[in-house]
Copies of this chain bind each other. A is one copy, B any other.
Amino acid sequence: MSYVSCAECPLRKLDLFTPHSPDELKLIQSLRRGQVTVPGGQDIIHEGQSDALLYTLWAGWAFRYKTLSDGRRQILNFLLPGDFIGVQQKMSDALTHGVQALGDVQLCVFPRDALWHLHRAHPEMGFNVTWLTAQEQSQVDENLLSAGRRSAEERIAALLILLYRRAAAMLPDAGATGVPFPLTQQHIADALGLSLVHTNKTLRKLERLGLHRIEQGVLHIHDAKALARAGDVYATMPPPRPLV
């Protein structure tokens, strides 16, 4: 799987983004350095790295994470196709988190100053980047609410329904076929601040209640309403998003 022009980017067909003029597309295209593939489980950016490039995720999932000195890991949020990687690290600062691929991942590469060029040449698109960044922040906010105040059962339910919504937004008929779900239970545990064992038990509990099923990397939601209720997720949180 590979493509040459941004105009033909498969992501563009999903109408998740604001339309772009040929002019804007040409700009993005000119900034783009190329593509890379990163194998699953490997870091795209290391924790503390200070010379990271800018990436756009266009196939596969990834996640941002931080670790404590003794190895405890906290996953901050998950990245799906269309998301940015490395925006946080502006100027000369080091990135205070790492980014790791979940399964093989395909990226578009941009130079570090691409963001600045974008702002300069097309303020509107620069504006959108701010929007996207804020959008991602709201995901972290939600995860913090989970880790801080939700019970184990609520956390799992909330994570499943929220990830499901994001993944389903790029699929034609997610309801019937389920959505790809490349996380292991260890990832879920690290995202929610739970132990692996308790994550497993809670996951099974919800499964036995008939709310969902995870099978061979595919997540099926049987009762989205009940799951959202179990997770105390009311607002329709993250709707589509612009740019890229």
Residues of A within 8 A of B (CB): 48, 64, 66, 68-70, 72-74, 76, 87-88, 90-91, 93-94, 96-97, 115-116, 119-120, 123-124, 126-127, 129-131, 133-134, 136-138, 140-145, 147-150, 190, 192-193, 232, 234-235, 237, 239
| Distance between Cα atoms of A72 and B237 in the complex (Å) | 18
Nearest chain B CB to A4's CB is how many angstroms away? 29
Nearest chain B CB to A162's CB is how many angstroms away? 12
Which chain B residues border A129 with CB–CB below 8 Å?
130
Determine if B148 and A192 form an interchain contact, defined as CB atoms under 8 angstroms apart. Answer: yes
Determine if A76 and B141 form an interchain contact, defined as CB atoms under 8 angstroms apart. Answer: yes
Assuming the contacts A72-B149, A127-B116, asked whether A87 and B134 have C-beta atoms less than 8 A apart, the reply is yes
Chosen A-B contacts, 22 in total, with CB atoms closer than 8 Å, are A66-B144, A70-B232, A73-B149, A74-B145, A88-B134, A88-B138, A93-B239, A96-B237, A97-B138, A115-B127, A116-B127, A119-B119, A119-B124, A123-B123, A126-B127, A130-B130, A137-B137, A140-B141, A144-B144, A144-B147, A147-B148, A148-B193
